[in-house]
Structure 1
């Protein structure tokens, strides 16, 4: 069953109200768009038939106008030949053509009115269809955003994440224990001969560097002695 029952329902529709009442807005907007597109096809088809009828009626009107001129010429010819009876008959036929032409003119006016209304309906339908498609895009964007946020929230509050962190902590704990065992082996163990000699060499190098630095500082403080001046100032 369609959302709308006639063209005026679509034109006068309030999409916001329809979607607010819907349990499944995305499904409803798809149905609305489909029905609008189907109705637009029907309205355009009707307009195309009306245009064809108008063209046919215009051709008929042209033929009737030609026939009126033709009967008038015949009436003039009959009068010029003294045949008033034939002239009257020709004028009667002309009057028939004129009456038929008037009916066709009225029909053309009705067809013009129908085309104008059809054009207005198409414009309104297209406007409503654009509105519906914009609503659909907005709903799709909202749905995608909500889905992404839901996925993030599920990951944040997923128990598997907590389990993974718990496993990491267990691994770190085991590493701490292994490192503790290595350090425990070094506790209470004396230094090796090579280690002691290495330390002595390092200390000797530092002491030598320190002595050299002291000598340099002392020399800087003493400074060069000034030579005594002569009596003549030279």
Structure 2
């Protein structure tokens, strides 16, 4: 059994209210559309059946009218021939056909009224179905928009990660540069110390040579 038990339930249903209260509006709108489409198929089948019945009834009425006219002609012939008894019988048959025509015409009127009501119901159902499909399209657009926004955010997140990595790499590069400067300073400082020690050794040698030279001069 569908969510609608009768056709009037669909026509009187407040689709917007049903969807607002639904836990899963997208699923609910699909079920509503499915129910409406199935009901519309049933209405069309009913209409087709009664349209065929109307055509058959119309042909039957035409046949009865022809029969009544035929009996009327026969009654006229019988009167012309002086056979009032046959004319009377012919008129009785004509009246039977006319009575049947009137009864069938009443049926035809009722059938036409029913078909008009079916057509009106089908149009109202079509309007409801169009409304439901518009809501479904709106949900689809919202879903697509949400997916686009999600992808955009995912790309933004990836960009932020890449930017963070790039910043870290730049920071690491700066650290490497500072460390290199420290190492260069240390290396330069060591070389200066070695040079200073070598200079001291050179000074000592010069002093020794100077003392020896003084001594030699004094002795000479």
Give your verdict on TM over 0.5: yes
Shift of 1:44: 1.1
Match runs of 1:137-152 below 5 Å:
137-152=137-152
Q: Give 1:29's aligned residue.
A: 29
Question: What whole-Å deviation, never above 9, does each CA across 1:41-85 have from its counterpart, x for those lacking one?
Answer: 111111111111111111110110000010011111111111111
What TM-score, normalized by structure 1, do the two folds share? 0.71
Shift of 1:144: 2.5
Shift of 1:164: 4.6
Shift of 1:154: 6.0
- Tell me how far apart the structure 2 counterparts of residues 54 and 144 of structure 1 sit (CA, whole Å): 49
**More helix, by proportion:** 2
Instruction: Choose which of 155, 163, 171 in structure 2 pairs with 1:173.
Output: 171
- Tell me how far apart the structure 1 counterparts of residues 171 and 153 of structure 2 sit (CA, whole Å): 29
What TM-score, normalized by structure 2, do the two folds share? 0.75
Shift of 1:149: 3.4
Match runs of 1:68-147 below 5 Å:
68-147=68-147
Gaps of 5+ in 1: 189-234
- Tell me how far apart the structure 1 counterparts of residues 92 and 141 of structure 2 sit (CA, whole Å): 73
- Tell me how far apart the structure 2 counterparts of residues 70 and 96 of structure 1 sit (CA, whole Å): 12
Shift of 1:139: 1.4
Shift of 1:27: 0.5
Aligned length: 187
Shift of 1:170: 3.3
Gaps of 5+ in 2: 189-220
Shift of 1:122: 1.0
- Tell me how far apart the structure 1 counterparts of residues 109 and 18 of structure 2 sit (CA, whole Å): 38
